[in-house]
Each structure stands twice: as structure tokens, then as C-alpha cells.
Copies of this chain bind each other. A is one copy, B any other.
Amino acid sequence: MSLNLKTSVLKVDQPLELKSGKVLKRYELAYETYGVLNNSRDNAVLICHALSGNQHAAGKYKDDDKPGWWDNMIGSGKPIDTDHLFVVSLNNLGGCHGSTGPKSINPETNKIYGSDFPIVTVEDWVNSQSKLMESLGIAKWKFVIGGSLGGMQAFQWTLQFPDKVEKCIIIAAAPKLTAQNIAFNEVARQAIMKDPNWHNGHYLEKNVIPNQGLALARMLGHITYLSDDSMKEKFGRDLQKQKLNFNFDVEFQIESYLRYQGEKFGNSFDANTYLLMTKSLDYFDPIKDFGDDLNTRLSKTCSKYLIISFTSDWRFPPSRSKEIMKLLIHNNKNVSYSEIDSSGGHDAFLMENEDYFEIMRNFISGDNNGV
């Protein structure tokens, strides 16, 4: 069954009070849906995207070279099976793919927001996503799912709306960033903000983009998404030409790959959105945010959890997923945990893998899961 693709936009006219204290008076959320919402409206699931994701998670538009970013996971007969499920996938607030964000017009100034767009948090996203849920007439998600920053949103859903999530799938995530994680984000931010085209974040008004800084940020990010082993397998020390250049042109194949990936991203993604997303990662810390209230919130949640990590992921290694697992077990929650053997690094959550997909299918279809 084909996915019948279209992008919808929800216009929300109620103000959204952000964690920063700022208020967005109105905003729009761009989203796609796949599959059909059943009559009892209880087959809806929410896909939360990671740092550079968007609403286009599955299927292929007519002019697309590639399908959506999680097409191997979502579709007819796939682990998130659109023959049975109604899948909702949105672009997060602050994004650059149709939802209100730094590229939008600030209604108060009639100029592009740029860096005046407020910093949004995982908490803010979940609040805005709940408006989309309401508008679609969904009372409870069958599950909320995401990898990396998306997994953090899935986790946050069960804390913020403990009775609205039946199951929660948290993949390749962490309960908060380490100093090293923050450090990588900070280098990425500095790379963007030191670009001569940065103009304090108001580059679009000047008809330029800080694409070189963003490319650097992406190159660096990319290293942390891949494992040392997968880089070795893919590139090793292979040269572009037969012998060493003795200059600073592209020399090793890994350099060529990174430059290409960086350039492509630098010219297509919005730098302000990238900055926002990294801050949202840095700020995520529900254990600190909720404090003593966390246990109360967890006691209220009816969610069953599936937590998945990948052996070669060094951005959010299995030990970080286990921190979430232990917290949940400590609170007597129903938790399944699975550590998937993969050389794919952090990006493994986007890759096809028999064990991974089988565990997903079982958890999604099963009625009873737990450690």
C-alpha cells in the first residue's frame, strides 16, 4: 500500500509558553501522516526526529532522490506497519522544514526571526506536539518513538503526559548529555558563529548563509555518529589517488566523504535551527528538572518502555541507555532493554538490522513486555 504522501500544516493560535519564559503567540507545525486512523482512534503513533531530522520520515515524493529518513522502519509490512498504524511525523518547532522556526517571519517585527527565534527545549516540543495530538483527535498514542534527541522526546512524553502514552521506545539516547557531548556541540556552535556570513544570526536578511561554518559543524557531528570500526571498514587509510599528495587537497577517502557530507548539509540546513537543536540537547536533563517530582510522575505513567542501544555507539553508548533503564526499573516500570550488536555507531538507529527490527516488531505488537 503506498503512503499517499502530503505535508500538512497545523496552525496553532494559542500562545505557547516556553521553558525560557518567552512566549510564542502563534506557530505552525508541518507534519506528515502515514496509514489510516481507525474508528476507535487508538492506532496512532508519534515519530520524534533527531538533530537534523524533519517530518518526512517515510515514502518518496515524486521528485525525491531518496525516501524519508526512516523509510526502512515505517511503511507497509515494516516494523512500524502503516497497514495497521496511523503514523504521525512532524517537524519540530524551531525546525527549518515548514514548522515555525528561525527562517519564519517574526510577527512582531515582520522580519525573519533569525537568531531572535527563542531557544526551545524538549519540554517545549512535547507541549507543542500535544497540540498536534489534540488537533488530530487522538487521546492516547499507541507509542511514541525516537532515536537520539528523538528518544529524549519520547522519554519526556511519558513524564509530561504520563497517561497519554501506551508505549515508549527510546533508541540510542541518554538521560542527559555529558561534558564531552556538550563540548562537541560547543565546537559546532563556535564553527557556525565564527563564519564570516554569520551576521549574528541574521544572515538571511543579508542574502547569505554561514554554510562553511555549518559544514564544519556537520563534519564534526558526522565523526561522532560513526564508529571507529565502521569508518575503518568503509574508508580505512585508503587514498583518493594512488599516492600521497604532500599538500592539503583531499587525500584520504575519509576526507573526501566528510567534505562532501559537510558541504551538502551546509547548503541545505538552517544554521540557526542547528544551533537551537544543539542547545535543546545540552539542556535536556529531566532528572534535574523534575527533581523529587520525577518519581511521582513516573508512578503515574502507564507506559511500557523499550530501550535500545547499539554496541558501537560512542556518542550515547549502551551505558547511557542503561542509566535510563535503571531509573525506570527503580521506579517499578515495565521496561525492556536491548543492546544491539552493530558496528554502525550512533547512526545504527537509522540502519536496517535484523535483530533491531525484530525486537521492535515484538514490542510494538506484543501485549506484554518487560524485563
Contacts and interface: CB of A to CB of B under 8 A. Distances in A.
Interface residues of A, number: 57
24 contacts: A20-B246, A21-B246, A115-B248, A176-B237, A179-B231, A179-B234, A179-B236, A179-B254, A180-B223, A180-B226, A180-B232, A182-B255, A183-B254, A183-B258, A186-B258, A187-B219, A187-B220, A187-B258, A190-B216, A191-B216, A196-B196, A220-B220, A237-B285, A252-B282
Contacts of A279: 248
Q: Which of A222, A247, A252, A288: most chain B Cβ within 10 A?
A: A252
A262 B184 CA distance: 13
Nearest to A283: B244
B223 A183 contact: yes
Nearest to A18: B246
A237 B179 contact: yes
Q: Which of A219, A231, A247, A248: most chain B Cβ within 10 A?
A: A248
A339 interface: no
A196 B196 CA distance: 7
Contacts of A119: 246-247
A196 B251 CA distance: 23
Contacts of A179: 228, 231-232, 234-237, 252, 254
A121 to B, nearest CB: 9
A30 interface: no
- Give me the 4 closest cross-chain CB pairs, A-B, nearest first: A20-B246, A179-B231, A179-B235, A179-B254
A295 to B, nearest CB: 21
Contacts of A288: 237
